[in-house]
A and B are shown apart, each in its own frame.
Chain A
Amino acid sequence: MTLRPTSTPTTPCGRIPRRTFLADTGMGFTGLALGAMLAEEGIGRTANAAVGARTDGWSPPSGLARLAPKAKSVIWLFMIGGTSHLESFDPKPALNKYAGLTIDESPYAKQVLESPFYRKNVRDFAGTPRKLMNKLYPLQIGYRKRGESGTEISDWWPHLSTCIDDISVVRSMWTTDNDHAAQLQFHTGRHIFDGFFPSLGSWVHYGLGTLNRNLPRFIVLGNPPGDCCGGVGTHGADYLGPEHAGVKMRIDPRNPLPFGSPGSTVFREERADQMGLLKQLNQLAAVEYPGDKSMRARIKSYELAYRMQMAVPEAMTLDGETAATQSLYGLDNKTTRPFGQQCLLARRFVERGVRFVQLYHNGWDAHSKLIANHSSKIGQTDLPIAGLLKDLKQRGLLDETLVVWGTEFGRTPGAENSDGRDHHPYGFSVWLAGGGIKQGTVHGATDELGFHAAENRHYVTDLHATVLHQLGLDPKTLEVPGHKRLDIDYGTPIQQIIA
């Protein structure tokens, strides 16, 4: 599949002869593309070269990866609220052993409290440090070794456990925000005090060409974080411009896109007629403005919008999926259906060439009633996620699709004077699968209490760098004029989990 549209031949100085121009706008829409696609032609962004700040020798990324890519697409599963690493992917027997003791009374007091990382990295809201949840709280669920890899995982994840040999768990993540704005940080690599920055998905959108010219390149499903925590900034594009932001879609094939349909009182035939007129009128006006790239881009954008109106509902219609597939994702069960639909749509999107699908699942903030909360939240996601991995695998898509599971932070080893755990930025887990990631490994470790990321520590930008690297983008050089992707903390790909 070619990534580039058939370009219009240009004269050496970049002018487009009038005849060629008319021919292109009038007949062959051989290279229809999305906004970012147009940007690759230099017309999506700033229409008139003289207008643009982009004449300093810089050009947008070519759409071709710079390194050899191992993955084509990303499915990004984000659990909002903070999933307990301890009751999921990083079980700690010491918590059962010393349950009820304070951290000071445990043999690990020094290791935790005198660690160079304790409170040093955290940037507190309103200058008040969060209390240390001192009293160790036992694991609320059992755990065991699973799969051939023998990775320990909690018993709340029976379905994902069957996929454990496809997964690389990273147990040594850390972040600097101990409140839920860590959600923003998880996606932009910046603390909310530093403001808003483009999200990882928007960088992928910006950095890569599209594989499907009728669908957005970066799609968001589910409810994004609240305004407290970055809001839509977690899939926003900030200075990259809105065309690189995630397009949030409703799980409703009848009306999935904003302004996706004029309503049922308008007929497709009359609209087609209108599109014909529009094209003709624009062509007539174009005679006065040969070489007007912006007009060319606009004409194409209308054609594309018209096609998106058709393609998006098709991609979102699940009726054609077999009963077996639907049940693989838990669509036949009330509990698992909502997230199952998101996961199945994610597969359909990557199958159709969408680059980045970001899924949100809410409600993990288990300050109390951890058992009820996590058993329910995991119950809603465990089967669909496992279904997604299995389905991708059986279709041969897992090799080229990078699946990332993450959450903004973990939960404290101590109880919060209740039957729950508090926010924990010092050490938590994420996992990756497919897309050139090693199978069945565990990388990094927290200390015995699951408090600090202790071995192979990774700040969230390392995860970003890993994703970009697998897609063939260089995390260090991805930038736009006037803006580095990150001024510091570019992150380094986690080589140990790369196959």
Chain B
Amino acid sequence: MPKPLPLLVSATLAILAIGLPPLEASERREPQAVDYQKHVKPILRQHCWACHGAFKQEAGLRLDAAQLIRKGSDDGPVVVAGQLDHSSLWQKITAQLPDRMPPEGKPLSKTELDTLKTWIRQGAKSPVSEQPPDNPTEHWSFNPIRRPAVPRSKTPGNWPRNPIDSFVTARHTAANLTPRPQANRSTLLRRVVLDLTGLPPTRDQLHRFLADTKPGAYQRLVQRLLSSPLYGQRWGRHWMDVWRYSDWYGRRGSNEIRYSQRHIWRWRDWIIESLNQNTGYDRMLLEMLAADEIAPGDDKALRATGFLGRNWYKFDRNAWLFETVERTSQGLLGLTFRCARCHDHKFDPVTQREYYRFRAFFEPHGFRTEIVSADVKTETDNRKSTVLSDGLPRVFDETLDAQTFLFIRGDDRNPDTTNPLAPGVPAALGGKRFDQTPIPPVQLPPIAYVPILRPLEAAKRLKTESLKVQAAARQVDSLQATIQTTATQLATARKSPATSDAPNTLAFSDSFKSFDKSAWKVVSGSWSVRDGQLVQTALGSFVSLVSTTDHPRNFQLTLKYRTLAPGNPRSVGFSFDHVGPKQSHDIYTAISPNAQTSSVQAFHRTGGREIYPSAGIRRAPGLKIGRTILLEATVIDRSLTIVLDGKTVLEYTLPMERRNGKFALWAHQAHAEFDEIQIHAIRPTIKSLEHSLAQARSDLPVKQAEVTLAQTRLDSLAARIAAEQARHTGDPGTRERLALTASRAERQIAVEQARLKLVQAPDSTTTKALATAIAARNAADGSYSPFPATYPKTSTGRRTALARWMTRRDNPRTARVAINQIWLRHTGQRFVNTVSDFGLRSKPRDFPLLMDWLSAELIESGWDMKHIHRLIVSSATYRMSSSPGGEPAELLNREIDPDNSRLWRMNSRRMEAEVVRDSLLAISDTLDPAFGGPDIPETQGQSSPRRSLYFRTTPDNKMLMLELFDLANPNECYDRQQSVVPGQALVMTNSPLALDRSRRLARRLAIDLTRHHGPITDSNHQSLVTSFTTSAFEIVLGRRPSPEELTTCSGFVEHNTRLLIDSKSLTPFPKGTGSVIAASTDPLTRALENLVHVLLSHNDFVTIR
């Protein structure tokens, strides 16, 4: 609400104002004449214009032009010449809060007040008329892009090659500038190859290009480069800067994610693939913001939503959405929105309300991870939750009715809940047109909300079931094998009953007179023999002592021991079938401190898990700390009997197949003393063999029924999935047919369960149950257990609407922001200096017409980025030499436009960090150009040959070498720094990468040379060094050396060789990071290595000329 500015201020306030001591003090001085333009206007601009200017006119008052100041507010004049008391402006700025102006921030300083006072006293003189500032919404960047006419121009030479040049020439002509001629062919080649692929040209490429003098050679080169998949890697990294790519971070050590998304590298791969396929910029934005709405079943497209997932933040939803709003607007719209979080924008025509309406687009969205293969693995995060080891993070509208409120003063604890806000875009950017239609919600296909409909999800579930079938079938196989061997054993035994009926024999015993190293191996803990007792005194998890030999398959155990304090739960146990710490059968006693829950138990370990079936647990209240326990166990095949202190306490069937293995003693969080252990082998008797055989034969039909049951479960799942798919997508006939199949298949499970029970216990109940189940199956009516819809069936459509608005022809920003980025990254020059702020504070733009022409071209070509690249790199402008030249006209250029703001030459640029590192690898032929895949730990930067953009980059994880070369700040990087710091010199001179690569390259070149010219002799020495130097220049710097450079280098080689011949007198450096490839022992080769190494430090190596 605009506050009326009263003409008369209350008496109190007036007195207060007059009574201010500093004012009194200044009255005694004779003030200097105050000038409106020089003194007054800056004060008004700084303190008043935000609310009383072109932008807003609180109380109808504008203070940004002389005649408007004189006009005053809705209530009349605010400045009365010579009369402070009647000037409400004066009253207001000297009042106390809440009446004071400005109402927020600091009051005017004493000096400022003095100036205004003197000005009013001296008659408030101001110009008769003064042009008020333009309506801010008329600023170019708030108005749609119109394609300007291409200026006609005629310049000597090859100008203009295309419309870009015509615009540039017009500026040249106007400023009397002479454009530089085309760069020499090797410089041009290196420039365009680096620009489009991020790798330096190879020597072959150089030779071919220099030899290709046919017309159109350059155009053909450009075409090849744009078709190369390396283009996607190069420009992918550029857009990753702007779109704020970051791998997930938090606490890697404990696998705790705090920011971004796991597996967000899939978004990076999507960026690269989309660029290589030349997907339109508009389509890319659409998929990044709303692939879940426009392509909900397309996993490839869903990767794009990593753009939003990157902002995810574990601890604070508001921090997350703030980032989303501010980064989207900065990166895509050139709109700095941040300040409107707390208050209306002071400089641009956007309000705080509009900020939150923009947020409303994103309010409902959340993130989830889809599986990417049926064999997906899982891992544990810091909360012991299971997370996918690989997956696809994707956006979806999670809370459809989430409301958006304005946060008063930006404070998320203070939402204005009286006023929920609908999504909208700032009016100044064309929001009115946007608001005319409500956003239609998007009906999602079932695959987006019923997970089982995703083929991979179905495959995963089916796979789980089919693994169960296989496991059951293996049990049948194993049982059949048992039947066969037992039958054979029985036959043998019957032939010679005497031997096989031999009594049990002692297989192992130890009464611990001394520690028998041949019998036991300490795995963990502290085990020692003391006074005829084996004592374990270390506290830990499953502290174990393992036998060195296997135990007999069927055996009887006698174990005498005591559990001692301390620890909880104080368990002591025995493992058998022990294949390792992850595979064993176990029995143990546990004594809890209060003795209430003491127990004896059987359990087993498999696949890294401990499984405690409830059937294996028995209470054992008699157990006491310090009292001797006698544990006896009999294991015959799958049956286990435990006798505790003479009493049978457990008869149990081992749930896991038996395996041959060792035995072990262990203590878990306990101290223990063992008196004695004995293991007797149980020899099978004819009787026991007969028993076993009968048992196995009777088990067989049960196991077979279990296989059928498992298979039926699998069939049922498959049938239900098919029915579910048909229900959502099929024709009515198919739907009905498949539903019936599913219904039948599901009821078949009950049939097979009943069959299993019948086989286990054939009686009237089970017989009847089977009949009932069969009847139910036969009565199948097409009903089956459906799969639940896990996610909302609709999406709000908000993000689609936002993306479509962004890429409308009349959106004033999107294309311009993109064109500015592309132009910058080709020419080192910006149309708009502040690439993420196109608002009123941005400097006037350079080449406005060219910018708009290119922007229109981008839109009208179908947002075809390769088309724009081609246009730019084909222009005469791009092809100019970056050297300023020395001709008189060129010297004049430097006088007229020393900063090259009008592009009379091309700019030299420092390579981006990734290009520096990739170039090091490329020149030594060791770059692995492989595409895609999970982020590689940044610590492998010196050893892994992958391209740099595949290494982990987060605010916490940055490869040091890349960081020294101004790696993109993953939090915010709309353009990169180009620093020159000593750290870069240290990397290039001392890093393993630079040392190794220069040695490798030098040796390769030396071998090539001797292969062609034979061994080095005094007579060919000079020419070989020349050839070597030439090749090294071509590979490292992409050009041939000049005669002076050749002489210098050969002088170096000679001197350096001589120096190295007598290396004993030389001083070594201290130990460093080291290198993999040692320097050559041959002084000449080492000097050549040193030469290559110097070229890596050459300014032209890291510079794109």
Contact = CB atoms under 8 A, between A and B. Distances in A.
Contacts of A313: 1070
B1091 interface: yes
A227 B252 contact: yes
B1067 A268 contact: yes
B1073 A259 contact: yes
B1094 A277 contact: yes
A233 B1073 contact: no
Contacts of A268: 1066-1069
Nearest to A191: B319
Contact of A304 (B834, B843, B985, B1069): B985
Interface in A205-222: none
B907 A44 contact: no
A391 interface: no
Contacts of A373: none
A196 B971 contact: yes
B837 interface: yes
A15 interface: yes
Contacts of B1069: 261-264, 266-268, 271, 309
Interface stretch (B41-49, B559-567, B581-589, B973-981): B973-981
B727 interface: no
A294 B843 contact: no
A262 B1090 CA distance: 12
Interface in B23-75: none
A482 B981 contact: no
B986 interface: yes
A125 B981 CA distance: 38
B979 A45 contact: yes
Interface in B1050-1105: 1052, 1055-1056, 1059-1060, 1063, 1066-1075, 1078-1079, 1086, 1090-1091, 1093-1095, 1097-1100, 1102-1103, 1105
A182 B1058 CA distance: 59
Given A264-B1072, A265-B1068, A271-B1069, 10 more contacts: A44-B980, A49-B899, A56-B833, A227-B250, A242-B977, A267-B1069, A281-B1048, A291-B884, A294-B978, A308-B986
6 contacts: A50-B900, A242-B977, A242-B981, A255-B1072, A264-B1068, A266-B1068
Given A270-B1066, A294-B908, A301-B981, A263 B1072 contact: yes
Contact of A265 (B249, B250, B1079, B1098): B1079
B986 A228 contact: no
Given A15-B898, A227-B251, A289-B883, A233 B955 contact: yes
Contact of B1099 (A125, A265, A270, A282): A282
Interface stretch (B662-670, B800-808, B988-996): B988-996
B828 interface: yes
A226 B1072 contact: no
Interface of A: 13-15, 34-35, 38-39, 43-51, 53, 55-56, 123, 125-127, 193-196, 226-228, 231-233, 238-239, 241-243, 247, 254-255, 257-271, 273-274, 276-278, 280-282, 284-285, 288-292, 294-295, 297-299, 301-302, 304-306, 308-309, 313, 482, 487
Contacts of B1045: 281, 284
Kindly name the residue among A259, A280, A306, A313 whose own CB sees the greatest number of chain B CB atoms within 10 A: A259
Interface string B824-864: 00001110011001000001000000000000000000000
Interface stretch (B360-368, B625-633, B960-968): B960-968
B969 A226 contact: no
B937 to A, nearest CB: 14
A285 B1098 contact: yes
A239 B314 contact: no
B519 to A, nearest CB: 43
Kindly name the residue among A232, A243, A276 whose own CB sees the greatest number of chain B CB atoms within 10 A: A243
Interface of B: 249-252, 258, 313-316, 318-319, 323, 339, 828-830, 833-834, 837, 843, 882-884, 886, 894-895, 898-901, 907-910, 955-956, 960-961, 963-964, 966-967, 969, 971-972, 975, 977-987, 989-991, 995, 1042, 1044-1045, 1048-1049, 1052, 1055-1056, 1059-1060, 1063, 1066-1075, 1078-1079, 1086, 1090-1091, 1093-1095, 1097-1100, 1102-1103, 1105
Given A46-B978, A227-B251, A273-B1055, A302 B985 contact: yes
A7 B1049 CA distance: 31
A259 B1068 contact: no
Contacts of B316: 123, 125-127, 193
B842 to A, nearest CB: 10
B1014 to A, nearest CB: 27
B861 to A, nearest CB: 27
B1052 A273 contact: yes
Contacts of A254: 1070-1071
Contacts of B985: 298, 301-302, 304-306
A266 B1079 contact: yes
Contacts of A14: 898
B340 to A, nearest CB: 12
B986 to A, nearest CB: 4
A49 B900 CA distance: 8
Given A15-B898, A291-B894, A241 B979 contact: yes
Nearest to A257: B986
Given A239-B972, A273-B1056, A282 B966 contact: no
Contacts of A261: 990, 1069-1073
Given A227-B251, A292-B908, A487-B339, A239 B833 contact: no
Contacts of A289: 882-884, 908, 1105
B194 to A, nearest CB: 16
Contacts of B964: 242
Contacts of B250: 227-228
A44 B981 contact: yes
Nearest to B846: A50
B260 to A, nearest CB: 13
A171 B898 CA distance: 55
6 shortest interchain CB distances as A-B pairs: A261-B1072, A35-B981, A305-B985, A267-B1066, A305-B982, A263-B1072
A298 B1099 CA distance: 7
A290 to B, nearest CB: 6
Nearest to B882: A289
Contacts of A294: 908, 910, 978, 980, 1099, 1103
Contacts of B991: 259
B864 to A, nearest CB: 27
Contact of B907 (A13, A51, A231, A299): A51
Contact of A239 (B960, B969, B1072): B969
Contacts of A196: 955, 971
Nearest to B187: A288
Contact of A267 (B252, B899, B1052, B1067): B1067
A483 to B, nearest CB: 10
Contacts of B910: 47, 294
Nearest to A228: B251
Contacts of A238: 969, 971-972
A482 B339 CA distance: 12
B1070 A255 contact: yes
B1094 A278 contact: yes
Contacts of A226: 251
A270 B995 contact: no
Nearest to B894: A15
Kindly name the residue among B908, B960, B983, B1068 whose own CB sees the greatest number of chain A CB atoms within 10 A: B983
A243 B987 CA distance: 14
A105 B1062 CA distance: 85
Nearest to B1079: A265
B990 A277 contact: no
Contacts of B963: 242
Contact of B982 (A47, A127, A264, A301): A301
Contacts of A247: 983
B886 to A, nearest CB: 8
A123 B1074 CA distance: 47
